[in-house]
Amino acid sequence: MFYYLLKYVVLGPLLRLLFRPRIEGLEHVPDSGAAIIAGNHLSFSDHFLMPAILKRRITFLAKAEYFTGPGVKGRLTAAFFRSAGQIPVDRSGKEAGQAAIREGLGVLAKDELLGIYPEGTRSHDGRLYKGKVGVAVMALKSGAPVVPCAMIGTFEAQPPGKKVPTLYPVTIRFGEPLEFSRYLGMENEKAVLRAITDEIMYAILKLSEQEYVDRYAAVAKAEQAEAKAKSGRTDRPGKFRRTRQD
Protein backbone atom coordinates (compact mmCIF):
# COMPACT_ATOMS: atom_id res chain seq x y z
CA MET A 1 0.00 0.00 0.00
CA PHE A 2 2.80 2.40 0.92
CA TYR A 3 4.58 1.60 -2.36
CA TYR A 4 1.58 2.62 -4.46
CA LEU A 5 0.95 5.65 -2.27
CA LEU A 6 4.49 6.84 -3.00
CA LYS A 7 4.24 5.97 -6.68
CA TYR A 8 0.90 7.56 -7.55
CA VAL A 9 0.25 10.18 -4.87
CA VAL A 10 3.44 11.48 -3.28
CA LEU A 11 6.86 10.81 -4.79
CA GLY A 12 5.97 9.72 -8.32
CA PRO A 13 4.06 12.85 -9.35
CA LEU A 14 6.69 15.08 -7.71
CA LEU A 15 9.58 13.42 -9.53
CA ARG A 16 7.76 13.54 -12.85
CA LEU A 17 7.00 17.22 -12.34
CA LEU A 18 10.52 18.20 -11.33
CA PHE A 19 12.61 16.08 -13.69
CA ARG A 20 10.14 15.46 -16.53
CA PRO A 21 12.08 12.29 -17.43
CA ARG A 22 12.17 11.22 -21.03
CA ILE A 23 11.22 7.55 -21.32
CA GLU A 24 12.43 5.38 -24.20
CA GLY A 25 11.73 1.70 -24.86
CA LEU A 26 9.19 1.19 -22.09
CA GLU A 27 7.46 -1.35 -24.33
CA HIS A 28 10.41 -3.71 -23.73
CA VAL A 29 9.39 -4.21 -20.08
CA PRO A 30 7.04 -7.24 -19.95
CA ASP A 31 3.47 -6.52 -18.82
CA SER A 32 3.45 -9.69 -16.71
CA GLY A 33 5.69 -12.46 -15.49
CA ALA A 34 9.13 -12.45 -13.93
CA ALA A 35 11.80 -10.21 -15.39
CA ILE A 36 15.08 -8.67 -14.29
CA ILE A 37 15.67 -4.97 -14.94
CA ALA A 38 19.45 -4.57 -14.99
CA GLY A 39 20.69 -1.00 -15.06
CA ASN A 40 23.64 1.27 -14.54
CA HIS A 41 23.79 3.00 -11.16
CA LEU A 42 24.80 6.64 -11.10
CA SER A 43 22.80 8.24 -8.32
CA PHE A 44 20.68 7.74 -5.21
CA SER A 45 17.83 9.14 -7.35
CA ASP A 46 17.89 6.00 -9.53
CA HIS A 47 16.02 4.10 -6.79
CA PHE A 48 13.02 6.41 -7.15
CA LEU A 49 12.95 7.59 -10.76
CA MET A 50 12.72 4.15 -12.33
CA PRO A 51 9.84 2.90 -10.11
CA ALA A 52 8.05 6.20 -10.72
CA ILE A 53 7.78 5.57 -14.46
CA LEU A 54 7.24 1.80 -14.56
CA LYS A 55 3.68 0.55 -14.79
CA ARG A 56 4.48 -2.52 -12.69
CA ARG A 57 5.87 -2.71 -9.21
CA ILE A 58 9.60 -3.33 -9.04
CA THR A 59 11.61 -4.59 -6.07
CA PHE A 60 15.25 -3.60 -5.72
CA LEU A 61 17.97 -5.34 -3.78
CA ALA A 62 19.15 -2.45 -1.59
CA LYS A 63 22.33 -2.30 0.45
CA ALA A 64 21.85 -3.20 4.10
CA GLU A 65 23.30 0.14 5.23
CA TYR A 66 20.01 1.80 4.26
CA PHE A 67 18.30 -0.30 6.92
CA THR A 68 20.82 -0.08 9.75
CA GLY A 69 21.55 3.63 10.12
CA PRO A 70 21.74 5.05 13.66
CA GLY A 71 19.33 7.42 15.35
CA VAL A 72 15.96 8.74 14.27
CA LYS A 73 17.13 9.39 10.71
CA GLY A 74 18.34 5.80 10.39
CA ARG A 75 15.06 4.37 11.65
CA LEU A 76 13.04 6.58 9.32
CA THR A 77 15.19 5.60 6.34
CA ALA A 78 14.85 1.90 7.17
CA ALA A 79 11.08 2.23 7.57
CA PHE A 80 10.85 4.03 4.24
CA PHE A 81 12.74 1.35 2.31
CA ARG A 82 10.91 -1.52 3.99
CA SER A 83 7.52 0.08 3.35
CA ALA A 84 8.47 0.55 -0.29
CA GLY A 85 9.14 -3.20 -0.52
CA GLN A 86 12.90 -3.00 -0.97
CA ILE A 87 15.05 -5.90 0.27
CA PRO A 88 18.19 -5.35 2.39
CA VAL A 89 21.29 -7.22 1.28
CA ASP A 90 24.48 -7.43 3.28
CA ARG A 91 27.35 -6.81 0.85
CA SER A 92 30.09 -7.90 3.23
CA GLY A 93 31.44 -11.39 3.86
CA LYS A 94 31.68 -14.53 1.76
CA GLU A 95 27.93 -15.24 1.87
CA ALA A 96 26.87 -11.77 0.71
CA GLY A 97 26.55 -12.72 -2.96
CA GLN A 98 24.61 -15.89 -2.22
CA ALA A 99 22.21 -14.01 0.05
CA ALA A 100 21.49 -11.49 -2.70
CA ILE A 101 20.86 -14.28 -5.19
CA ARG A 102 18.46 -16.06 -2.83
CA GLU A 103 16.49 -12.88 -2.21
CA GLY A 104 16.37 -12.03 -5.91
CA LEU A 105 15.17 -15.50 -6.89
CA GLY A 106 12.43 -15.20 -4.28
CA VAL A 107 11.12 -12.09 -6.00
CA LEU A 108 11.27 -13.69 -9.44
CA ALA A 109 9.51 -16.83 -8.18
CA LYS A 110 6.47 -14.63 -7.53
CA ASP A 111 6.49 -13.48 -11.19
CA GLU A 112 7.50 -9.97 -10.19
CA LEU A 113 10.01 -7.44 -11.51
CA LEU A 114 13.43 -7.45 -9.89
CA GLY A 115 15.66 -4.40 -10.15
CA ILE A 116 19.40 -4.93 -9.91
CA TYR A 117 22.55 -2.92 -10.50
CA PRO A 118 25.17 -5.41 -11.75
CA GLU A 119 28.00 -2.99 -10.89
CA GLY A 120 27.15 -3.60 -7.23
CA THR A 121 27.48 0.03 -6.19
CA ARG A 122 27.06 3.54 -7.52
CA SER A 123 29.59 4.81 -10.02
CA HIS A 124 31.73 7.45 -8.33
CA ASP A 125 32.78 9.16 -11.56
CA GLY A 126 29.93 8.61 -14.02
CA ARG A 127 31.62 5.75 -15.90
CA LEU A 128 30.23 2.22 -16.34
CA TYR A 129 32.12 -0.47 -14.45
CA LYS A 130 32.46 -4.25 -14.74
CA GLY A 131 29.38 -6.21 -13.73
CA LYS A 132 29.21 -8.89 -11.06
CA VAL A 133 27.95 -12.32 -12.13
CA GLY A 134 25.04 -12.56 -9.67
CA VAL A 135 22.68 -11.21 -12.33
CA ALA A 136 23.69 -14.08 -14.65
CA VAL A 137 23.07 -16.69 -11.94
CA MET A 138 19.58 -15.32 -11.28
CA ALA A 139 18.77 -15.15 -14.99
CA LEU A 140 19.76 -18.79 -15.52
CA LYS A 141 18.15 -20.21 -12.39
CA SER A 142 14.86 -18.34 -12.85
CA GLY A 143 14.67 -18.38 -16.65
CA ALA A 144 13.60 -14.73 -16.49
CA PRO A 145 14.52 -12.35 -19.30
CA VAL A 146 16.92 -9.51 -18.55
CA VAL A 147 15.86 -6.02 -19.66
CA PRO A 148 18.86 -3.67 -19.86
CA CYS A 149 18.22 -0.14 -18.64
CA ALA A 150 20.23 3.07 -18.79
CA MET A 151 19.76 6.02 -16.45
CA ILE A 152 21.09 9.11 -18.20
CA GLY A 153 21.53 12.45 -16.45
CA THR A 154 21.02 11.28 -12.88
CA PHE A 155 24.75 11.56 -12.13
CA GLU A 156 24.63 15.25 -13.04
CA ALA A 157 21.40 15.73 -11.09
CA GLN A 158 22.63 14.02 -7.92
CA PRO A 159 26.19 12.69 -7.91
CA PRO A 160 27.39 10.66 -4.92
CA GLY A 161 27.65 12.87 -1.85
CA LYS A 162 25.03 15.37 -2.97
CA LYS A 163 21.98 15.23 -0.69
CA VAL A 164 19.55 17.42 -2.65
CA PRO A 165 19.29 16.80 -6.42
CA THR A 166 19.39 19.65 -8.89
CA LEU A 167 17.09 19.90 -11.87
CA TYR A 168 18.76 18.26 -14.84
CA PRO A 169 17.30 16.57 -17.95
CA VAL A 170 16.96 12.84 -17.27
CA THR A 171 16.40 10.03 -19.77
CA ILE A 172 15.45 6.47 -18.80
CA ARG A 173 16.10 4.09 -21.67
CA PHE A 174 15.13 0.40 -21.83
CA GLY A 175 16.55 -2.07 -24.32
CA GLU A 176 15.21 -5.27 -25.83
CA PRO A 177 14.97 -8.20 -23.39
CA LEU A 178 17.89 -10.61 -23.33
CA GLU A 179 17.26 -14.31 -22.81
CA PHE A 180 19.84 -16.95 -22.03
CA SER A 181 18.03 -20.26 -22.41
CA ARG A 182 20.94 -21.50 -24.53
CA TYR A 183 22.97 -21.69 -21.31
CA LEU A 184 20.34 -23.59 -19.32
CA GLY A 185 21.90 -25.78 -16.64
CA MET A 186 25.29 -24.07 -16.85
CA GLU A 187 24.91 -21.69 -13.91
CA ASN A 188 27.96 -23.23 -12.22
CA GLU A 189 30.26 -22.57 -15.17
CA LYS A 190 32.33 -19.47 -14.40
CA ALA A 191 33.12 -18.73 -18.03
CA VAL A 192 29.41 -18.87 -18.93
CA LEU A 193 28.44 -16.55 -16.08
CA ARG A 194 31.12 -14.09 -17.11
CA ALA A 195 29.99 -14.18 -20.76
CA ILE A 196 26.34 -13.56 -19.81
CA THR A 197 27.24 -10.72 -17.48
CA ASP A 198 29.45 -9.09 -20.08
CA GLU A 199 26.63 -9.34 -22.64
CA ILE A 200 24.27 -7.60 -20.22
CA MET A 201 26.82 -4.88 -19.45
CA TYR A 202 27.44 -4.33 -23.16
CA ALA A 203 23.70 -3.87 -23.73
CA ILE A 204 23.61 -1.30 -20.90
CA LEU A 205 26.69 0.40 -22.38
CA LYS A 206 25.03 0.77 -25.79
CA LEU A 207 22.01 2.38 -24.16
CA SER A 208 23.89 4.69 -21.80
CA GLU A 209 26.86 5.59 -24.07
CA GLN A 210 29.07 5.82 -20.99
CA GLU A 211 32.79 5.23 -20.90
CA TYR A 212 33.41 1.62 -19.86
CA VAL A 213 35.98 0.53 -17.29
CA ASP A 214 36.84 -3.18 -17.14
CA ARG A 215 37.25 -3.16 -13.36
CA TYR A 216 34.90 -3.50 -10.41
CA ALA A 217 33.59 -0.16 -9.16
CA ALA A 218 34.14 -1.07 -5.51
CA VAL A 219 37.83 -1.75 -6.18
CA ALA A 220 38.25 1.51 -8.08
CA LYS A 221 36.52 3.42 -5.27
CA ALA A 222 38.74 1.88 -2.62
CA GLU A 223 41.90 2.67 -4.57
CA GLN A 224 40.77 6.25 -5.13
CA ALA A 225 40.05 6.70 -1.42
CA GLU A 226 43.43 5.23 -0.50
CA ALA A 227 45.23 7.50 -2.96
CA LYS A 228 43.37 10.51 -1.60
CA ALA A 229 44.28 9.59 1.96
CA LYS A 230 47.95 9.17 1.03
CA SER A 231 47.91 12.49 -0.80
CA GLY A 232 46.47 14.17 2.27
CA ARG A 233 49.23 12.77 4.45
CA THR A 234 51.90 13.80 1.95
CA ASP A 235 50.59 17.32 1.63
CA ARG A 236 50.34 17.80 5.40
CA PRO A 237 53.05 20.16 6.66
CA GLY A 238 55.79 18.36 8.52
CA LYS A 239 56.57 19.01 12.17
CA PHE A 240 59.87 20.68 12.84
CA ARG A 241 61.62 20.50 16.19
CA ARG A 242 63.55 23.53 17.28
CA THR A 243 66.99 22.59 18.58
CA ARG A 244 69.25 24.65 20.80
CA GLN A 245 72.19 26.10 18.95
CA ASP A 246 75.52 26.24 20.87
Measured in degrees and rounded to the nearest 5, phi and psi for residue 65 equal: -60, -25
> What is the pLDDT at residue 243?
40
> What is the pLDDT at residue 10?
59
Residue 244 maps to a domain:
no
pLDDT tens per residue across span 143-156: 999 999 999 999 99
What CATH number corresponds to the domain at position 21? 3.40.1130.10
> What is the pLDDT at residue 98?
84
Residue 234 maps to a domain:
no
Domain of 163 in residue numbering reads as: 2-215
- Give the list of residues 6+ apart from residue 149 with CB closer than 8 angstroms, or none: 37, 38, 39, 40, 50, 172, 173, 174, 175, 204, 207
Cα–Cα distance for residue pair 40/153, rounded to 1 Å = 12
Residue 43 maps to a domain:
yes
Residue 6 maps to a domain:
yes
- % the chain with pLDDT above 90: 48
CB-hemisphere CA count at 13 Å for 7? 18
> What is the pLDDT at residue 168?
86
Cβ proximity of 166 and 158 under 8 Å: yes
Residue 241 maps to a domain:
no
Residue 227 maps to a domain:
no
Residue 165 maps to a domain:
yes
> What is the pLDDT at residue 190?
95
Residue 239 maps to a domain:
no
Cα–Cα distance for residue pair 176/146, rounded to 1 Å = 9
> What is the pLDDT at residue 94?
60
> What is the pLDDT at residue 244?
41
> What is the pLDDT at residue 214?
95
DSSP E strands in 194-234: the ranges are 212-213
Q: How many domains are contained in the chain? A: 1
**Amino acid at site 223:** E
pLDDT tens per residue across span 112-121: 999 999 998 8
Ranges of the chain whose pLDDT falls below 70:
1-13, 66, 80, 83-85, 90-96, 233-246
